[in-house]
Structure 1
């Protein structure tokens, strides 16, 4: 691995150049405003920082997410925690409740911020800076090495991979991927449980 682009494209960790960047973050004030917009709803919030999930309350949502990702979670006072910008805010809810979260998102307004939010899994709704996308993050990382995204191959499975799949020279989607992701890809490979990425690389590269 030469570099990692994480957090939807807002985080770059380049091991060759020894560069770490957090780009296009959300301010503490904005994060609080977003959380307040959903305060009466059946959901929780989390911010991933340095490999730990931080949440304002302890419930099944944060416990299940931490267990599923195999990482630690901590319940903290967000008024104290939110003293610096973070890459993104995640809303966690039951999958059956997600349509209500999405509907509520339509009424969020901030004159200084054009909301960029989307469903990334059946139980996660994420807020990021509008400039954050996987393709933009990849372009910023590649630019450090004078490489174009058109020279790259990208693998994905969800709707938040679509821009990357479309802009990469070759976009490949897992068989278990979303319908829209498959529409954006050049190829469909086997699913994640059948070593889809490995199968594709072995066959074509």
Structure 2
């Protein structure tokens, strides 16, 4: 099988725990690109946060950011999906009633919060290396919000099933919920997006631009927000350091972790 497109998650996959792309991974990506394989970055980070790595990879192809709420080719927006304004207001009220503290992400790349609760330290350490334009404000729940891309909550392991269950029961398929575990900072980021958002849907959209079938795609990830693209692709590769629930869905598990050039391993084995 000749694979025509390679989709790479960033944190825990292409990036080491130090937040860097190794020379070995970059070299293999360059070889894959020269061999004709399209290389797509697919990340939960905002474009501002991912931009440095997108430019390092030096791919001319679109990138998927904000857990697929945005697809853009460098500065050009190809597709952007926001949460309905009325739904946003309802979600904020629900979080307030549940005692959770949301972070609101807007299309202008600003992020707003009023409080971060018990996971403030972990989230702020994570944000220092990944997210800019983070702003603390008062009366977050009482404001009217437009152009919301994502609503997130910094939470612990015990909170995740409660959040999923409560919000699915109340909103059903009107929203997309996903959680990502950040082991370096020991907290989960629970995310709400528009119902039409998923990495697989975004990749299918990009593949349709190029006439590529899902069977001709390799996806590489490690976390819960990578699950749907792992299942969707012709070859879903999961990093050795991936979460247990993600590893069991893998077509291939790398022998090397994100700190040992696991992405290069996948490229060398299946593309070059």
The aligned runs of 1:45-194 (5 Å cut-off) are: 45-49=102-106, 50-57=108-115, 59=117, 61-62=119-120, 64-69=122-127, 70=129, 71-72=131-132, 73-76=134-137, 77-78=139-140, 79-80=142-143, 82=145, 84-109=146-171, 114-121=174-181, 122-189=187-254, 190-194=256-260
Partner-residue secondary structure (3-state), 2:98: coil
Counterpart in the other structure of 1:20: 77
- C-alpha deviation, 1:155, in angstroms: 0.3
Q: Residue 179 and residue 60 in structure 1: after superposition, are their counterparts in 2 closer, same or farther (change >3 A)?
A: closer
- C-alpha deviation, 1:52, in angstroms: 4.3
* Runs of 4+ displaced beyond 6 Å: none
RMSD value over aligned CA atoms? Answer: 2.6
Q: Residue 150 and residue 14 in structure 1: after superposition, are their counterparts in 2 closer, same or farther (change >3 A)?
A: farther
State the distance in 2 between where 1:58 and 1:163 align. 28
Q: Which region of structure 1 is more displaced relative to structure 2, 113-122 or 132-141?
A: 113-122
Unaligned runs of 5+ in 1: none
Counterpart in the other structure of 1:7: 66
Query: Given the two structures, how large is their TM-score scaled by the length of structure 2?
Result: 0.64
Unaligned runs of 5+ in 2: 1-58, 182-186
- C-alpha deviation, 1:161, in angstroms: 1.5
State the distance in 2 between where 1:94 and 1:182 align. 21
Count of paired positions: 200
- The higher-RCO structure (CA 8 Å, 6+ apart) is 2
| 8 A Cα contact 2:116 2:154, kept in partner | no
Counterpart in the other structure of 2:91: 34
